[in-house]
Amino acid sequence: MQPNLFQEPEDAVTISERGFAEIVFDRPLDHAYSYAVPPALRDAIGVGKRVLAPFGRGDRQTIGFCVGVSNSKPERKVKAIVQVLDDEALLTEHILKLTRWMADYYLCGWGQVLNAVVPAGVKKLAGTRPTPMLELVPEALLPNPLPHLSPKQKRVLEYLQTHENPLELRVVTEQTGCGAAPIEALVDKGYARRRAGRVATETTISQPVLAGRASDGNAADPSLARPANTALQLTPDQAAAWAVLEPALTDGGFRPFLLHGITGSGKTELYLRAIEEVVRQGKEALVLVPEISLTPQLEARFRTAFPQARIAPLHSGLEDVARTAGWILAARGEVDIVLGTRLAVLTPLPRLALVVVDEEHDASFKQQEGLRYSGRDAAVYKAKLADCPVVLGTATPSLETWHNARQGRYEILSMPQRASPGAVLPAVRAVDLRASPAQDGLSADLVQAIRARRARGEQSLVFINRRGYAPVLACEACGWAAGCARCSARLVLHQKEGRLRCHHCGAEHPVPRACSTCGNVDLRAVGRGTQRVEETLASLFPDASIVRIDRDTARRRSDLTLALEEARAGRGDILVGTQLLAKGHDCPHLTLVGVLNADGALLSTDYRAAERLFATLMQVAGRAGRREQRGEVLVQTMYPQHALYAALARHDFASFAASQLDERRSAGFPPFVSEAALRAEAPRLEDTMRFLAGARELVAAPVGVQVYDPVPHVVTRRAGYERAQLVVQSASRAALLGFLREWSEQLFATAPRAIRWHLDVDPIGSD
């Protein structure tokens, strides 16, 4: 039995009128193809279902999605659909519109987007697969005289005669206990014949994934309110924001909000209120977070807040079954809250009434491979389709969002104060490395500050955004440094594991005993990463417990979640970690944050580096002193006067953003222009560059669209491929998209197969 997935999208066309269908295939080019629907398939065909149709070279039977049915005869002669694969539509009207927008905006095939959107498990569940079948030859066609049969052949024949034909070959062999030989013989002797057939894929949702109430319609339900004791008295900031948000939720209608609240201002508390309101109305809320590691914490908070609500977590770390089940239940309207990472934006939610994007500035909302979309931007569009409010929450808005808000496109809800009684923002200070040089990476000021925390039994955190022991292993005698053979990058020394690792392609080698050029055995680790800082701290504070948290200590997500939980509970006197530690975790005992190696971003060629650094530092700073004790943040730097550090010390996002936006405006960068990048890679750089140079000439750029020169990536070679890109900009988004559409068609038509390339719309930098 096929599950009843959901209602078919509204379809004004009656069955007898369903003579033609528009089909899209999983191909990069964005065309829908017209097909005739044979009369036998007219009651089965429907928008949102998959079909099998002859397509491409040799008219291979190919799976496509039906995106339209009509009775208007196409001008050209068309082929006919062979089969309708799904009993129920897999896609709601909203998802069709959202994916249509994604295909337009990100220049990819609609069919490609659809294929990416529907989880594999859902396709399996709703679909059929080809299988060889066997059936009896009609009596009139039986040979005369009838050939003699062996006992086994007789057994198979009897089975065929007593069961409904055709039968799946696999079933016949299983049920009769005979192998392939007697079946072959029956076919040879003219008793039976083979046939191609399809059977339903049998997959069932075997695992209950949703806690909370049973499915019982979608009426408004007062029991979904939060237990009274969990709701807090709102702070003045929260109350002011709520006074705007509440009527927006009651009235409905598309309204984008920027919830600009410092860390600890109580944004989550406000999300909970908003969700409560929506769920009480019998509607649905979608909450997106940047990191999978943030979902368990938030999910736990949601479950406590709404013990009765049906919450579906959706992210790529889930088992296929759970993800499939969550998706289907959401699509059926049997979920109150979907909580997930960017891909959750693609979940069908028929009664969606609120979208929340937490930490909206986070780069992980942008998918960096395959379908390169922004989950945040798609979330805003989804809210627009659902005609409901969307809340973008963050302490450090992305400059795009900030600009939108300043232009009046988003309403700003501002929460500049911390929520917990007595909690104040940490004191941020730049430690001048020129005045007091660091020893083994740690300045005397920082060491002193950690010592004071140790004496008071408080936690310290040392933040350095580089894992491993040292970024370079070098020979002082001849200047050789260990590099990756496949990348234009140095190998990072991982001392504990005794390995050299490439952080770009993952290549690994044992640590060499001697210089491969001159044979010198005295190799030196230059610079430092988390491992080395951990080692230094251990020698400075021999009786402290030091906990390192980075991608190496937390290879699996569950490790990370556990480590963060333990840190939160007070484990570790000194925490050392990368930005994994920076994100949204509230550590009540933590009162000191030291930041090493921040300056790199100030010198970066990437114009977004400063924005990212500021956001990260605000976030790590937010870890310090979330409760009564005032926190302190020490940033070690060679540029203590830098405007970024000065703004950070004042906790002044607005002035930092204003100066960044000024620079962007005068330099002609987003958000003042729209941008796309054509990226390419090939084994030889000259091929990559020639391709990009040729691409530039393919289509004349219209007035107002600038196509820049191709430029190699900073790390040009990665995993044996030489990479480069060229950037296209325009002050007019429409002009840019128009150009890109024409360009991508030409690129698909002409690009040599040996070149790997893609277009990235609204790129956020490359490594």
Footprint of ligand ADP on this chain (CB under 6 A)? Answer: 232-235, 238, 261, 263-269, 419-420, 586
Considering beta carbons, is residue 255 or 267 the nearer one to ligand ADP?
267
Written as six digits, the tokens of 638 are 């060679």
| Size of the residue set binding Zn ion (CB under 5 A) | 15
Nearest approach, Cβ of 300 to ligand ADP (angstroms)? 13
Instruction: Using CB under 5 A, pick the residue from 478, 514, 569, 667 that binds Zn ion.
Output: 478
**Tokens encoding 706:** 């600038």
Nearer to Zn ion, 217 or 510 (CB): 510
If we measure between CA atoms, which residue out of 592, 584, 461, 433 comes closest to residue 534? 461
Q: Can you tell me which of 137, 187, 225, 477 binds Zn ion, judged by CB under 5 A?
A: 477
For residue 707, what are the β-bridge partners?
728
Comparing CB distances to ligand ADP, the nearer of 234 and 698 is: 234
CA dist 672 to 661, 662, 669, 711, Å? 9, 10, 6, 22
Of 109, 311, 35, the C-alpha closest to 744 is: 109
Q: Residue 419 Cβ, how far from ligand ADP at the closest point, in Å?
A: 4
Residue 173 binds: one of Zn ion, ligand ADP, none (C-beta under 5 to 8 A by kind): none
Nearest CA to 468 out of 577, 579, 595 is that of 577
The one of ligand ADP, Zn ion, none whose footprint includes residue 367, by CB under 5 to 8 A per kind, is none
Cα distance between the two ends of the chain: 49
DSSP 423-491: --PPEEEEEETTTS--BTTB-HHHHHHHHHHHHHT-EEEEEES--SSBSEEEETTT--B-B-SSSSSBP
CB 524 within 8 A of CB 567: no
Supply the minimum distance, in Å, between the C-beta of residue 273 and ligand ADP.
10
Least distance (Å) between residue 687 CB and ligand ADP: 49
CB-nearer residue toward Zn ion: 230 or 516:
516
Q: What is the sign, positive or negative, of the torsion defined by CA atoms of 69, 72, 73, 76?
A: negative
Give phi and psi for 585, each to the nearest 5: -110, 135
Q: Which does 502 bind (CB under 5 to 8 A by kind): Zn ion, ligand ADP, none?
A: Zn ion
What's the CA gap between 559 and 540, in Å, rounded? 27
Question: Residue 736, interface with Zn ion (CB under 5 A)?
Answer: no
238 touches which of Zn ion, ligand ADP, none (CB within 5 to 8 A by kind)? ligand ADP
417 binds, options ligand ADP, Zn ion, none, Cβ within 5 to 8 A by partner type: none
C-beta closer to ligand ADP: residue 232 or 731: 232
Greatest CA separation for the chain:
107
Residue 168 or 586: the one with the smaller Cβ distance to ligand ADP is 586
Least Å from the CB of residue 494 to Zn ion: 14
| Identity of the residue numbered 448 | Q
Minimum Å gap between C-beta 526 and Zn ion is 14
Cβ-contact 288, 346 below 8 angstroms: no
Q: How far is the CB of 112 from ligand ADP (least distance, A)?
A: 36
Among Zn ion, ligand ADP, none, partner that 264 touches (CB below 5 to 8 angstroms by kind): ligand ADP
| Lookup: tokens for 454 | 């140790």
Which value, in Å, is the radius of gyration of the alpha carbons in the chain?
31
Q: Which does 515 bind (CB under 5 to 8 A by kind): Zn ion, ligand ADP, none?
A: Zn ion
β-bridge pairing 167-168 and 337-340? unpaired
DSSP 384-400: HHHT-EEEEEESS--HH
Q: Residue 261 or 350: which CB sits closer to ligand ADP? A: 261
432 binds, among Zn ion, ligand ADP, none (CB under 5 to 8 A by kind): none
> Please, which of residues 313-372 interact with Zn ion by CB under 5 A?
none
Q: Which is nearer to ligand ADP, 235 or 578 (CB)?
A: 235
> Which residue(s) pair with 356 in the sheet?
287, 391
Contact (Cβ atoms closer than 8 angstroms) between residue 716 and residue 722:
yes
Residue with Cβ nearer ligand ADP (269 or 377): 269
List C-alpha distances in Å: 114 to 48, 67, 100, 328, 345.
10, 10, 9, 15, 13
Q: By C-beta, is 480 or 607 nearer to Zn ion?
A: 480
Q: Which is nearer to ligand ADP, 156 or 648 (CB)?
A: 648
Instruction: Check: CB of residue 67 under 8 Å from CB of residue 91.
Output: no
Q: Specify the 3-state DSSP secondary structure of 409.
A: coil
In the list Zn ion, ligand ADP, none, the entry touching 117 (Cβ below 5 to 8 angstroms by class) is: none
Q: Taking the complex as a whole, how short is the minimal distance between the CB of residue 458 and ligand ADP, in angstroms?
A: 17
**Distance of alpha carbon 488 from alpha carbon 713, whole angstroms:** 10
Among candidate residues 101, 98, 30, the one with its CA nearest the CA of residue 741: 30
Q: Which two tokens stand for residue 626?
A: 């979330």
Q: Which is nearer to Zn ion, 254 or 480 (CB)?
A: 480
Question: Please, which residue, 199 or 521, has the CB nearer to Zn ion?
Answer: 521
Least spacing, CB of residue 212 vs ligand ADP, in Å: 22
Provide, rounded to whole angstroms, the least separation between the CB of residue 594 and ligand ADP. Answer: 21
Q: Which of ligand ADP, Zn ion, none has residue 504 at its interface (CB below 5 to 8 Å by kind)?
A: Zn ion
Nearest to Zn ion of 474, 705 (CB atom) = 474
> Which two three-digit tokens encode residue 697?
């000439």
Q: Which stretch binds Zn ion (CB under 5 A): 104-112, 280-288, 366-374, 468-476?
A: 468-476
Neighbours of 139 (CB within 10 A): 6
Alpha-carbon distance of 594 to 541, in angstroms, equals 15
Quote the least distance from Cβ 600 to Zn ion, whole Å.
20
Q: Which residues lie closer than 8 Å to 593 by C-beta, 6 or more apart?
A: 426, 460, 461, 462, 463, 620, 621, 623, 624, 631, 632, 633, 634
State the nearest-atom distance from the C-beta of 579 to ligand ADP, in Å: 16
Query: Pick from 288, 446, 475, 633: which binds Zn ion (CB under 5 A)?
Result: 475
The listed partner (ligand ADP, Zn ion, none) that binds 669, CB under 5 to 8 Å by sort, is none
**Rounded alpha-carbon distances, angstroms, from residue 365 to 368, 431, 560:** 9, 33, 20
Give the CB-side neighbour count of residue 328, counting CA atoms within 13 A: 24
263 binds, among ligand ADP, Zn ion, none (CB under 5 to 8 A by kind): ligand ADP
Interaction partner, residue 520 (ligand ADP, Zn ion, none; CB < 5-8 Å by kind): Zn ion
Whose CA is closest to 379, among 272, 279, 290? 290
Q: How far is the CB of 261 from ligand ADP (least distance, A)?
A: 5
419 binds, among Zn ion, ligand ADP, none (CB under 5 to 8 A by kind): ligand ADP
Q: Choose the stretch contacting Zn ion; rule: CB under 5 A; options: 401-409, 469-477, 657-665, 744-752.
A: 469-477
Task: Decide if 108 contacts 24 (C-beta within 8 A).
Answer: no
Q: How far is the CB of 269 from ligand ADP (least distance, A)?
A: 4
Which option in ligand ADP, Zn ion, none does residue 505 bind, with CB closer than 5 to 8 A by kind? Zn ion
- For Zn ion, the closer of residues 232 and 518 by Cβ is 518
The candidate with the shortest Cα–Cα distance to 489, out of 513, 507, 466, is 507
Under rule CB under 5 A, which residues in 479-518 are in contact with Zn ion? Answer: 480, 484, 486-487, 502, 504-505, 507, 515, 517-518
Which one, of 128, 127, 121, 120, lies nearest residue 168 by Cα? 128
Residues that bind Zn ion (CB under 5 A): 475, 477-478, 480, 484, 486-487, 502, 504-505, 507, 515, 517-518, 520
